[in-house]
Structure 1
Amino acid sequence: MKHILLIENHSIVRLATLFIIRDVLPEVASWETDNFPDALHIVSTRRLDLIFLDINIPDGEGFQMIAKIRRLQPGVTIMVFSDIDEELYAMHYLKAGANGFLSKSSSTKEIRTAIAAILTNGRYVSEMVQRLLLHGNTPEMRQSNPLAALSQREIEVMDLLLEGKWTKEIATLLNITGSSVSTYKLRIFEKLGVNTVIELYQKVNALRE
C-alpha cells in the first residue's frame, strides 16, 4: 500500500486529485492538508511514499519547502502540482529537489501517467520540461522570455516584490541580509529592463500572458 500526502488549499482540487490517485492505485492511504505547517507535522509523523505539493498554500515558503520536507523524510518522492508558470518555475523546483512538476491544467490522462511514472521511476517531467532540459537556458530562450534568465533566488525575491513586500520583510522571509535583497532586486531590474516595482509588475504580467 502506498502512503500519499496532498498539500493543497482547495478542497475540490484535493478531492479530484485523490479520485484520480485511487483510480491509479486502488489501495492507498492518504492524508490531506491545506497549509504548510500542518504538512510538516504530517511528514514528521507518517511514513510517506509520495507528496503532492502545491506552491501557493497558506504559510508556504517557496523553494524552501522542498528542503524542509527532505530534512524530515529524505527519500520521499515529491511532485509539485501547481498552477504556477511551468516554463518559468519547473526547472527551478526540480533543481531544488522535487522529483516532478505537474501543471494543474494537465489532462486527467497526463495526471494518471505522471502518478504511475513517478511511483515507478521516482521522476516525472512533462513534454515542456523535457524541452527545457534539452535546450537549457539558451540565448534564444532568454530573448523570447527574459524571466528564464532569472536565478532561483532572483525569482523568490521577484515574487515577494510583486506581493508588495519591503526589503526588510523579504530579508526575514528568505533569511538573507537587506543588502543581499537590494543586490538581487538590482539584478532583476537589469535583466528585465525595468526601473521600479510598478514597471516590474507590468513587465511580468505582459510576459506571462
Structure 2
Amino acid sequence: MKPLIILRPAPGAGRTADKAMAMGLAVRLCPLFAAEALACTPPPAGDFDALLVTSAQTVRFGGAALRAYRTLPTYAVGAATAEALREEGFADPVAGDGDASAIAARIAADGHRALLHLSGEAVAPMDAGPLRVTRIPIYRMMPLSCDPLDLSGGVLLVHSAVAGARLAEIVPENQRATCDVVAISPAALAACGSGWGSAQAADAPNDAAVLALARRLCE
C-alpha cells in the first residue's frame, strides 16, 4: 500500500488523517504551511448585512473579533468551516458545497449586499457578483521546510492552490514521477505543475471526494 501524505496544515490535517485512517490507509503528515495570526481591527458589525468565512483557520484565529459578528447572517465555504463556526457560538451558519464564488452567489440570492469576508492573507479568486465585499485578513500561512524524499512514493493530498504551488517549488520536476497527486479542485491541481506519476482532481471540493479518489491510488 502506498502511503497517503497529507500536506495541509493543522488542525485540518488531523481531521483528514482521522478519516483516512478509518478507511484503513497508511497516513503520514507533512504540512507545507503553518498558520499564524495577523493583527487586525475589524470594522463594526453594523456596517454589514452578512458575514462570509472561507476557512476554519479564520475561526481558529478570529477570537473576540470574530465573535462580534455572531448576530450577522453567516456563511461558510464548506461544512468543516460551518462546524467550526457553530463551535464558536454561531447558531446557524449556512454551509456551501462548492467554492467561494458559489457561496457568494448564494449570499447574493438571499438578498444581502454589504458583505464582510474574514479570511486568510491569500485567498482564491471569488466572483462577488453584486456583493460589496470588505475583506479582512485574520491569519497568514507561513511555509515550512520539507524534504522531497519524504514525499517520494506517496499519494499526495493537495487541499489548495497555494499548497499546490508550494509543492511544485519543493519537488523538482525530475523527481515527481514516483508520486501521485490528488487535488481538491482543478485550480489546486493546475498549481502542482506537471511530471507527476498521476495527477487528478476530486469530483467535489471536500475530504470525502478527495479521500475516495486517494484510496484507489493507495491500494
Normalised by the size of structure 1, how large is the TM-score? 0.39
Structure with greater strand share of residues: 2
Normalised by the size of structure 2, how large is the TM-score? 0.37
Structure with greater helix share of residues: 1
